Amino acid sequence: MRLEYPHGVRIVRLPCTGKTDVRTLLETFLAGADGVMVIGCLEGECHYIRGNIKARARVARTRKILDETRIGGERLRMYNLSASQAQRFAEAVNEMTDTVRAMGPSPLARHRALGAATPSAPPGDEG
Amino acid sequence: MIIAEQKAFEEIEKRLAPFTRVLVLGCKGCVTVCSAGGAKEVGILATALKLARAEHGLPIDVRELTVERQCDPEYLEPVAVKAGDAQVILSMACGAGVQLTAERVLKLPVLPAVNTVFIGVAEKAGTYAERCQACGDCKLAATGGICPVARCSKSIMNGPCGGSTRGKCEISSDVPCGWQLIIDRLEALGRMDLYDEIMDEADWSTSRDGGPRRIVREELE
């Protein structure tokens, strides 16, 4: 099929989008991502019954936090695609890339470019 | 359990503005069960705080710790040590936990990250509802296990009042009339004789009218 999508996209595999959690999504932005797509199976076709439905709710919550932290909720989107929708996958990636390009780099990248931001230490111990 | 919900992020961020080293302190008790302030929420809030500060291009060191219970002194003993050189503790426990942490970790300010809302139940995952107001004189034996203090908007002892319509309370069509629930339950139990008995006026001196409450059990000391 030789479909093209932007080369700046990194793919992280999960067994199911039900594995997505809010903190991990937020950490991708802390690590410098300008935008994140969560791509789950079509709704109603989850192998684990409700994984993609749960992911949808977690993505919605994460978008709210991204707005509250002024990173921009629009930088995170969820798509539902089946494994046979390669064409739609390429379109979705292009669509997301266009959105992020229009928004510009993440505010964190802007500060990093100026050498101002000092990323904080990793989380401490728990319990 | 005690039900709490996270404060608006804007409020938390504003209170933390003067600080650069923060300990976000969770609690494994009620607030973990109602997903307001357990280890998971601590991680999410800590990460959000880092993002918000980084968005300003400013540094922040956020540590995370979740203790068994913040309402019990023995679990707070290690907190002062683990806080290290933190300048402030952001507690995700209920109001009781925040206060005991403040009493035990004297050297640091302790700020609340959640609002403590009520004593209630999980109706289903993510939906919590009030069931008890800790009035100090439980009346559930006479009312079919449904509380007239917590479930009736007016906390009346002999209801329903004239504001009850088709099983709903006049304050909102989403709120069931507590006394209608009591009647339905007593009917189902075949105990309407309990409803026929007029309940005495409530003695609110066992509730908040009596000032801050305290229980001392010498056999446990």
Residue B216 lies in a domain: no
CA of A62, closest CA in chain B: separation in Å? 9
Across the interface, which of A71, A123, A126 has its CB nearest the CB of B55?
Answer: A71
pLDDT of amino acid A115: 63
Regarding whether B66 and B7 lie in a shared domain, the answer is: yes
List of chain A residues whose C-beta atoms are within 8 Å of the C-beta of residue B17: none
Regarding whether B140 and B77 lie in a shared domain, the answer is: no
pTM value is: 0.92
Regarding whether B103 and B13 lie in a shared domain, the answer is: yes
Regarding whether B114 and B6 lie in a shared domain, the answer is: yes
Residue A118 — very low, low, confident or very high, per pLDDT cuts 50/70/90? very low
Residue B123 lies in a domain: no
Regarding whether B147 and B98 lie in a shared domain, the answer is: no
CA of B44, closest CA in chain A: separation in Å? 5
- Diameter of chain A measured on Cα atoms: 51
Residue A116: pLDDT above 80?
no
Give percent of chain A with pLDDT exceeding 70.
Answer: 89
pLDDT digits (tens, 9 = 90+) for B69-122: 999 999 999 999 999 999 999 999 999 999 999 999 989 999 999 999 999 999
Asked if B183 and B148 count as a contact pair (C-beta separation under 8 A), the reply is: no
The Cα B26–Cα B23 span in angstroms is: 10
Regarding whether B191 and B140 lie in a shared domain, the answer is: yes
Residue B218 lies in a domain: no
Range of the domain at B65: 2-118
Residue B128 lies in a domain: no
List of chain A residues whose C-beta atoms are within 8 Å of the C-beta of residue B40: 21, 23
Q: Is A30 on the interface with B (CB under 8 A)?
A: yes
Regarding whether B149 and B102 lie in a shared domain, the answer is: no
Residue B158 lies in a domain: yes
β-pair partners for B160: none
Number of domains in chain B: 2
* Chain A stretch 55-74, residues whose beta carbon is closer than 8 A to a beta carbon of chain B: 65-66, 68-71
Regarding whether B153 and B58 lie in a shared domain, the answer is: no
List of chain A residues whose C-beta atoms are within 8 Å of the C-beta of residue B51: 26, 29-30, 65-66, 69, 71, 108
pLDDT digits (tens, 9 = 90+) for B73-82: 999 999 999 9
- Diameter of chain B measured on Cα atoms: 69
Regarding whether B177 and B97 lie in a shared domain, the answer is: no
Asked if A81 and A43 count as a contact pair (C-beta separation under 8 A), the reply is: no
Regarding whether B6 and B63 lie in a shared domain, the answer is: yes
List of chain A residues whose C-beta atoms are within 8 Å of the C-beta of residue B60: 120
The Cα B92–Cα B115 span in angstroms is: 9
pLDDT of amino acid A127: 38
Token pair of B67, please? 């203790």
Residue B143: pLDDT above 50?
yes
Residue A110 — very low, low, confident or very high, per pLDDT cuts 50/70/90? confident
Residue B130 lies in a domain: no
pLDDT digits (tens, 9 = 90+) for B7-51: 999 999 999 999 999 999 999 999 999 999 999 999 999 999 999
Residue B124 lies in a domain: no
The CATH number of residue B36's host domain is 3.40.50.2300
Residue A120 — very low, low, confident or very high, per pLDDT cuts 50/70/90? very low
Burial of A14 (0-12, 13-18, 19+ CB in 10 A): middle
pLDDT of amino acid A126: 42
Q: What is the ipTM of this complex?
A: 0.90
Q: Is A123 on the interface with B (CB under 8 A)?
A: yes
Instruction: State the SS3 of B88-134.
Output: EEEECCCHHHHHHHHHHCCCCCEEECEEEEEEEEEEECCEEEEEECC
Regarding whether B10 and B111 lie in a shared domain, the answer is: yes
The Cα B5–Cα B36 span in angstroms is: 5
